[in-house]
Amino acid sequence: MTASAPIQQLRAHAARLSATPIDALCASDPARASALALRVGPLYANFARQRYDAAALAALFALADQADLPGRLRALFDGEIVNRTEDRPALHTALRGKLSSGQRAADASALAADARLRMRQLVDRIQAGGVTDVVSVGIGGSDLGPRLVVDALATPGAPVRVHFLSNVDPAAARSVTQALDPSRTAVLLVSKSFGTQETLLNGRILREWLGDDSRLYAITANPARAEAAFAIGPDRILPMWDWVGGRYSMWSAVGFPIALAIGMDAFEALLEGAAEMDAHVLQAPPRENLAAWHALTAVWNRNALGLSTHAVLPYAERLRLLPNYLQQLVMESLGKSVRVDGSAIDLSTVPVWWGGVGTDTQHSFFQALHQGTQPVSMDMIGVVHRDAAHPDNATALLANFLAQSEALANGQDSSDPHRAYPGNRPGTVMLLDRLDARSLGALVAMYEHSVYLQGVLWGINPFDQFGVELGKQVADRLMPALRGEGEADDPVTRELVAQLRR
Ligand code: F6P
């Protein structure tokens, strides 16, 4: 989307449709509700409550053709250097399938298969060693994916309970360790670089607490540092590679906490679900391609309608961490304002992604979704499940899910302005057949591919994250000042440090 003419066209369609709200679009075309929907395995997605019609969609898919989405997907899967600013491929798809005949992808798949064999052995070893609890220490991409999956899928009877520690605030380490017995706990240090401040500092606390290095493991692309800093030998290190981005890494040994919590077979089912989505996304033409629909819808909402925030609303307690996970996946990938070649983008890129679980959020921020001045686009995700133990609750959950999607789209008139609902809030409604490893793998992979395609459409590299570096550098420089060993350079920071040292 480097040319602005296609965007002008999208905006013209948005202007043409500005007096045609979602309910009118749906009422005028009885086939729309089923025509604007796709199913891929366990995942169904319905785009009928988006604010486009056939002509606007034609313009969007013309954009997909112009950007050569199929060709760019092939480049991703084949291991081409899609991460151009760091001169690397991004081969997360090779961690979960063999959809490419390219040598790089084949080599990557072989390494991933070896790592999975070692993971299986280590799961057995840890479980056989009388370990009841595991603490996974990591942050960002080395934390959020495994945390999401473990929270969604771990069951109370599992042989090992997995806990997560990310925040450098010592209160976090205290809260994780206080209920655990160090003699029956293993600690995983998960860090691609093994240079991340939070993980190293928390790792030190946990190593000391553990008091026994034989139950200390590392998952890293930098084994030399793990060995030098924590004396972790090769038999307790699982690999990572520079061709997997941190936020795309839960399919690698970074997913070891998942394998411990739900078993290696279920971890492999997660990968299989993602691989099924990969096959669909790689092979389906854009018009039938779920990730392409999702990405084009994101571009429509951002660049044609000008919406600046996007809410993720899972109606499933076990998906409560999905908004957090997607915040990193989407905003660390797409929060950029220059194209791959360094030129400025003349369009808005990623909106703010946020959200929370239904039905709780209906009683917090939904008021603003319904009647606030800022329309918000949404992904609403429900799970088709029959909870035999509590059928009334399960039915109420789904009733609320359907009701909110309908009410936000259709609104309701009233002579009393306080009781009027403008509606016309665009939302994609997704349904997972069930919440298991396979379907969760498919859902997450769909988001990964949508992010990649949004990057293609905006002309940006979704695989680097230079924006997070500056703050880390400044924090490193300020450590001595906070210890009283010097002054901060910046006058405001100096004043704040003085307050803190008082
Ligand atoms: O937040 C920045 C970041 O570099 C993420 O991209 C990454 O997932 C996270 O830090 C953790 O990095 P590492 O795995 O190297 O500790």
Question: Does residue 249 line the site of ligand 1, with CB under 6 A?
Answer: no
Among residues 249, 301, 293, 282, the alpha carbon closest in space to that of 98 is found at: 282
Q: How far is the CA of 60 from the centre of ligand 1 (A)?
A: 34
pLDDT of residue 1 exceeding 70:
no
Atom of ligand 1 nearest to the CA of 247: 8
Structure tokens at 26: 């749906």
Q: How much helix, strand and coil, in percent to the nearest 5, is found in the chain? A: 55, 10, 30
> Which residue is catalytic, options 288, 390, 472, 495?
472
Q: Specify the higher pLDDT residue, 180 or 388.
A: 180
Q: What is the mean pLDDT of residues 393-401?
A: 96
Q: Whose CA is nearest to atom 3 of ligand 1?
A: 140
> What residues does 381 pair with on adjacent strands?
314, 430
Best mutation site among 190, 193, 198 for ligand 1 pocket (most ligand atoms within 8 Å of CB)? 193
C-beta neighbour count of 220 within 10 angstroms: 27
Length of the chain, please?
A: 502
- Block residue for tokens 């989307």: 1
Question: Does residue 333 line the site of ligand 1, with CB under 6 A?
Answer: no
Q: Which ranges of 311-365 does DSSP label H, i.e. alpha helix?
A: 322-326, 333-334
For 480, phi and psi rounded to 5 degrees?
-60, -40
Instruction: Tell me the pLDDT tens digit for each residue of 299-353.
Output: 999 999 999 999 999 999 999 999 999 999 999 999 999 999 999 999 999 999 9
Q: How far is the CA of 146 from the centre of ligand 1 (A)?
A: 14
Q: How far is the CA of 247 from the centre of ligand 1 (A)?
A: 8
User: Residue 181 burial (CB < 10 Å; 0-12/13-18/19+)?
Assistant: exposed
Question: Does residue 202 line the site of ligand 1, with CB under 6 A?
Answer: no
* Reduced 3-state DSSP string for 289-302: CHHHHHHHHHHHHH
Average pLDDT of the chain to the nearest whole number: 96
> Which residue is catalytic, options 332, 336, 370, 449?
332
CB 149 within 8 A of CB 250: yes
Catalytic residue status for 332: yes
Whole-angstrom Cα distance, residue 140 to residue 332? 10
Q: What is the mean pLDDT of residues 182-199?
A: 98
* DSSP, res 330: I
Among residues 349, 326, 449, the alpha carbon closest in space to that of 40 is found at: 449
Catalytic residue status for 363: yes
Confidence of residue 3 (pLDDT cuts 50, 70, 90): very low
Instruction: Tell me the pLDDT tens digit for each residue of 90-135.
Output: 999 999 999 988 999 999 999 999 999 999 999 999 989 899 999 9
pLDDT of residue 2 exceeding 60:
no
- Block residue for tokens 């520690």: 165
Q: What is the mean pLDDT of residues 467-492?
A: 94
C-beta neighbour count of 93 within 10 angstroms: 31
Q: How far is the CA of 218 from the centre of ligand 1 (A)?
A: 15
Q: How far is the CA of 196 from the centre of ligand 1 (A)?
A: 7
Q: State if pTM tops 0.90.
A: yes
Instruction: Tell me the pLDDT tens digit for each residue of 42-54.
Output: 999 999 999 999 9
Confidence of residue 371 (pLDDT cuts 50, 70, 90): very high
Q: How far is the CA of 245 from the centre of ligand 1 (A)?
A: 9
> Which residue is catalytic, options 363, 418, 469, 485?
363
Establish whether the linkage from the previous residue to 361 is cis, with ω within 30° of 0: no
Q: Whose CA is nearest to atom 8 of ligand 1?
A: 141
Question: Does residue 196 line the site of ligand 1, with CB under 6 A?
Answer: yes
Catalytic residue status for 208: no
Structure tokens at 340: 């791959």
